[in-house]
Amino acid sequence: MKNLAIKIAVVLFISMVTIGCTQKPEDIKLSELETTCDYVDAIEICVDAAIEMMGDKEFEDLSEEEKEYLEVIEDKLEDIERAGSKKFTESEVKECPNFERVKQKVEKSPF
């Protein structure tokens, strides 16, 4: 019985962590971004959302709702980049361990 309770607790904890880690671009608050890596990670969230929405589709094939959501993502990206460029230099941003991975994703994104 004790093992069952522990297993249930572990499953619940993992579920909460996993669900809590999935953030949408519109949920990103610029005021909560403090480090260069925070900004890079925020850009990655936006780019991942855009890539996921696009899938194998062309922009013209998206619904109006999807096109509007891409605009929301693009606006958020611009806000993040504008705010980050006021706080950090390009060389500081490039020092973030995730920079190269995010750069590659940006190159594949519709932006």
| pLDDT tens digit sequence for 37-93 | 999 999 999 999 999 988 888 888 999 999 999 999 999 999 999 999 999 999 999
pTM for the structure as a whole: 0.76
Residue-wise DSSP of the chain: -HHHHHHHHHHHHHHHHHHHH---GGG--GGG--SHHHHHHHHHHHHHHHHHHHTT--GGGS-HHHHHHHHHHHHHHHHHHHHHHHH--HHHHHTSTTHHHHHHHHHHS--
Q: Where are the domains of the chain?
A: 25-108
